């Protein structure tokens, strides 16, 4: 093992956080280098005890668990809002925990996609996560539009993997007064590119359109400032960089000048109704203030519990410190890979300040024999990465549980697979 990596881990003040995670065992029964936080974050140890406590409460108290302490089920997700708000750069009343990402996108579009006259188009960037495109297309069709006409997809330039911000802004300008809204992946799921959300939101607003963003790959990964950037709405899932567990409950953000002035939701359900009169069981809907009004159903307690274990970890250190470590891990990995000049592999993630988060994506030469089996070969060496079509290897470094040794194991593993003689 490279001494520099070991040395840097020894000097890492965030290293103790790693012990808070259960990392799966590798072939040598030692914890793997888990570089898949962009897909599913690992288990936070404390989750087991908290889940056990909720099951205990359910068994012992039944319905009375809705009023128990701490974390009464009635307001089970409320305590999570300050941390989430800090992570997305918003006020706590502008965020809420509910549903999963695609469902939240539908909930948000039902409210914010209001095609009128010429203004009917939605602009998205490619490559976009398929579920987002499906949701957006179906919303257009549901409003009587034609996705072939009303959906504008801006593609990267030929030979490139990311839509450059200038091209994005130009596409917004060209759409002009036909544009209803822009929907953009904050951090692109394939390339790991971080878009300048403030710039895109301002460009959308200049042309009378709204701007929303998918934060699946951004929350807990990059510093966000949705209020400053004047993003209108956003949603995320919690199972990636937030470590909320498979299929964990997601969240959304709705910008508003004050809690009372928050936009009213289009879709109504009892959990979005104000708490103080919810159980009067009346027929009329009066939304809870802020983003909570967008809730439709009651909170899934057991799928929210892991977040009570995971989110406090983000409160232990300033986010800037996490970001600094993430940058060092990325810098280290890239420098090592460049040094080795590995053939048939090129980084497609734009590098440089503000252009990426913890994910690195590598295009693997198509004439190269490994393809997806590269992932299995890496796993055999105790490194968990993933593969996305067409031929992209993705790894992510999470400052809460990854260290330089993980980066080194990845680089070494890749080298031995690609150049066995080295």
Binding site for ligand PLP (CB under 6 A): 100-102, 129, 131-132, 185, 189, 214, 216-217, 237, 250
CA distance 84 to 90: 8
For ligand PLP, the closer of residues 131 and 415 by Cβ is 131
Least distance CB 183 / ligand PLP (angstroms):
11
For ligand PLP, the closer of residues 235 and 402 by Cβ is 235
CB 88 within 8 A of CB 253: yes
Least distance CB 384 / ligand PLP (angstroms):
16
Least distance CB 124 / ligand PLP (angstroms):
12
For ligand PLP, the closer of residues 81 and 106 by Cβ is 106
- What residues pair up with 183 in beta bridges, in sequence order? 124, 212
For ligand PLP, the closer of residues 236 and 410 by Cβ is 236
CA distance 4 to 35: 20
For ligand PLP, the closer of residues 101 and 364 by Cβ is 101
CA distances from 288 to 72, 128, 170, 299, 386 (A): 18, 32, 38, 14, 41
Number of Cβ within 10 Å of residue 193's Cβ equals 26
Least distance CB 302 / ligand PLP (angstroms):
17
Rounded CA Rg of the chain: 22
Least distance CB 217 / ligand PLP (angstroms):
6
Q: How do beta strands 151-154 and 121-125 pair?
A: parallel
In DSSP notation, 228-271 reads HHT--EEEE-SSSTT---TT---EEEE--SSGGGPPPPSS--GG
Least distance CB 131 / ligand PLP (angstroms):
4
For ligand PLP, the closer of residues 227 and 386 by Cβ is 386
Residue nearest to ligand PLP (CB): 102
């Amino acid at each position: 093992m490279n001494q520099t990596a070991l040395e840097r881990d020894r000097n890492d003040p965030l290293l103790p956080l790693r012990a808070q995670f259960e990392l799966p065992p590798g072939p040598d029964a030692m914890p793997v280098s888990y570089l898949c936080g962009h897909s599913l974050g690992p288990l936070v140890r404390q989750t087991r005890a908290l889940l056990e406590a909720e099951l205990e409460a359910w068994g012992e108290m039944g319905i009375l668990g809705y009023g128990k302490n701490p974390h009464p089920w009635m307001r089970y997700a409320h305590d999570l809002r300050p941390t989430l708000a800090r992570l997305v750069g918003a006020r706590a009343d502008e965020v809420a925990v509910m549903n999963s990402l695609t469902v939240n996108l539908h909930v948000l579009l039902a409210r914010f996609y209001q095609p009128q006259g010429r203004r009917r188009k939605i602009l998205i960037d490619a490559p976009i996560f398929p579920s987002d495109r499906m949701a957006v297309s179906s919303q257009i069709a549901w409003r009587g539009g034609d996705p072939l006409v009303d959906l504008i997809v801006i593609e990267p330039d030929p030979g490139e993997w990311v839509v450059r911000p200038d091209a994005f802004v130009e596409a917004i300008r060209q759409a002009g007064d036909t544009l209803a809204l822009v929907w953009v992946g904050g951090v692109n799921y394939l390339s790991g590119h971080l878009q300048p959300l403030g710039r895109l939101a301002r460009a959308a607003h200049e042309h009378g359109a709204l701007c929303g963003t998918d934060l699946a790959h951004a929350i807990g990964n990059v510093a966000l400032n949705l209020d400053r950037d004047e993003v209108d709405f956003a949603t995320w899932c919690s199972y990636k960089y937030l470590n909320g567990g498979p299929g964990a409950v997601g969240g959304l953000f709705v910008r508003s000048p004050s809690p009372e002035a928050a936009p009213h939701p289009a879709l109504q359900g009892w959990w979005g109704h104000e708490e103080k009169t919810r159980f009067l069981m009346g027929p009329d809907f009066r939304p809870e203030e802020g983003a909570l009004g967008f809730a439709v159903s009651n909170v899934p307690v057991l799928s929210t519990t892991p977040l009570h274990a995971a989110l406090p970890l983000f409160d232990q250190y300033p986010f800037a410190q996490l970001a600094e470590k993430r940058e060092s891990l990325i810098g280290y990995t890239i420098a090592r890979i460049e040094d080795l000049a590995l053939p048939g592999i090129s980084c497609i993630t734009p590098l440089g300040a503000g252009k990426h988060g913890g994910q690195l994506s590598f295009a693997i030469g198509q004439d190269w024999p490994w393809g997806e089996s590269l992932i299995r070969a890496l796993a055999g060496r105790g490194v968990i990465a993933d593969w996305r079509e067409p031929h992209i290897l993705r790894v992510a470094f999470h400052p809460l549980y990854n260290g330089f040794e993980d980066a080194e194991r990845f680089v070494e593993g890749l080298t031995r697979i690609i150049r066995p003689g080295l």
